[in-house]
Amino acid sequence: MQTKISASVLSADLAHLADQCQLALDAGVDMLHIDVMDGHFVPNLTYGAPVLSCLHRALPDACYDVHLMIDDPDRYALDFAKAGAALITFHLEAPVDPSATIAAIRMAGCRVGISIRPATPVEKVFPYLGEVDMVLVMSVEPGFGGQAFLPETPSRLAAVHRELDRRGLTTDLQVDGGVNDDTAPLCVKAGANVLVVGSALYHAADPAALTTHLHNLTHAACP
């Protein structure tokens, strides 16, 4: 299974966002990762559905991987779906009923991901593994780009991967935060098959070479 790359545009030059997204696509990434923050769930503000809508008009063939770090994902899921999202991920820790949020995102016509913060025990997400298309394990505390990768992340990924394998599920396993050419192999060995790459991609001397290297990392068999 080839590892998939989702380019985190939070690390892009936002004054030239469409061009920066095109740069990532030209480098061979599979998706564009759109971090949406509300200043409540995380202590930062980013962008809303109108920005995604503009990007979708400029780059209609891109796959938009929207990560909602917000308190009320049910309220905004349809807005992001209409703006062009293909996949919408929400946080298990948001003050919502996860099954209801999953249903709301599916009703909006998108694939569904569920994310957990570093302090959340991975077992908390197990009841929803059969309901979602992707699990996102955060490898930094969500809210800001450019943070250092947390060393406990591979063991957390491996625990989710073992549970998916035990249940015969093909759910994608994504990791986000501090992913680069040093930490990515640890994540893939632990079972991740979707890597969110931001600073490492946008600061790379050769983004295409980095993307090729990451694509070629071998997805681990479950121990």
Could you list the active site residues?
A: 35, 176
Of all helices (H) and strands (E), which one includes residue 208? helix 207-215
- How far apart are the C-alpha atoms of 183 and 7, rounded to whole Å? 16
Which of 66, 68, 70, 10 has its CA nearest to residue 42? 70
How many residues comprise the chain?
223
Where residue 63 falls (left for φ over 0; alpha for ψ -120 to 50; beta otherwise) is: beta
Which of 78, 67, 73, 104 has its CA nearest to residue 194? 67
In 10 A of CB 108, how many CB atoms?
Answer: 18
